[in-house]
Amino acid sequence: MKGSIEGWGSGVVGMTIFSGSLPATRAALEGFPPLFLTGARATLAAALAALCLALLRQPLPGRRELVSLVTVSLGVVVGFPLLTALALQHVTSAHAIVFIGLLPLSTALFGVLRGGERPRPLFWLFSGLGAAAVSGFALSQDGVASPIGDLAMIAAVIVCGLGYAEGAMLTRRLGGWQVISWALVLSSPLMLLLSVLTLPVSPHEITAPAWLGLAYVSVFSMFIGFAFWYHGLARGGTATVGQLQLLQPFLGLAFASLLLHEPVSATMIGTAGVVVLCVATARRFA
């Protein structure tokens, strides 16, 4: 019982941190280009991860873990941050958050593909309905949103789902926070080089909200959020605590409205609700 309560509490903290990621990214983009933001957030998070790994004397991953760690890095360290940053140049964070509702489904799909499972037909039915709801939302925003932003968000959800699913399997061997830590460290040389090559010319002209956005996505979204989230999954159970992801779109919309004063339409809320319902039902039949 104690472990379950601890798991839920840790999971709530992690989910709440992730909910602020897109609004924080949007704020950071007011002062930093997407490539620099992607490299800098990963580099700063990697420094924290390396410190924790060293202080806690974690053993090096074996050769058989390297391919999986590269997959996690490409999905959640490089792919998702870069693609969402590119998308948020064309759409608001509130608009993008609707697509995040499909992330649990994307994770489940890759879990099925990597695990060799055969879900029931109802899984595919509700999966398709959820995807159709997001597609309908994107098409209904003609003249308001951008096809480039929507396509980038779809790609972001796909690569992040792959990274989450691969990381979940690797967690059984390395541990939760260790997976994201080693993925960050593994990608740090490339991310550091990217940061240096795309360093803003006039950093003194960057506003405080942009700096705060960079700090948030580097420290919280890329590292601390994962530590809480994986700890919650380990203590409370992946299937149980993982359901908290279904609340993320609604909390993200609240952050977008309160922090960035972005308009949140009834269509956004309604679509997020339909997607969450479809994803919750589909996961029951996975």
* pTM of the predicted model as reported, rounded to 2 decimal places: 0.87
Q: What is the pLDDT of residues 64-74, one digit of tens each?
A: 899 999 999 99
Q: What is the pLDDT of residues 189-211, one digit of tens each?
A: 999 999 999 988 777 788 999 99
Which are the contacts of 165, defined by CB distance < 8 A and separation ≥ 6?
A: 107, 108, 110, 111, 114
- What's the pLDDT at 144? 58
252-281 CB burial, b ≥16 within 10 A, e <16: bbbbbbebbebebeeebeebbebbbbbbbb
172: tokens are: 């059984």
- The secondary structure of residue 205, as a DSSP letter, is G
14: tokens are: 């992690």
| 179/187 Cα distance (integer angstroms) | 12
Asked if pLDDT for residue 143 goes beyond 60, the answer is no
Query: pLDDT: is 279 or 21 the higher one?
Result: 21
Query: pLDDT: is 264 or 21 the higher one?
Result: 21
| 66/69 Cα distance (integer angstroms) | 5
**What pLDDT band is residue 238 in, cutting at 50, 70 and 90?**
low
**What pLDDT band is residue 271 in, cutting at 50, 70 and 90?**
confident
**What pLDDT band is residue 267 in, cutting at 50, 70 and 90?**
confident
Q: What is the pLDDT of residues 121-140, one digit of tens each?
A: 887 788 788 788 887 877 77
- What's the pLDDT at 122? 83
**What pLDDT band is residue 28 in, cutting at 50, 70 and 90?**
very high
Q: What is the pLDDT of residues 176-193, one digit of tens each?
A: 789 899 999 999 999 999
Q: Which of 22, 49, 172 is nearest to 111 (CA)?
A: 172
Average pLDDT taken over every residue of the chain? 86
- What's the pLDDT at 145? 63
- What's the pLDDT at 272? 84
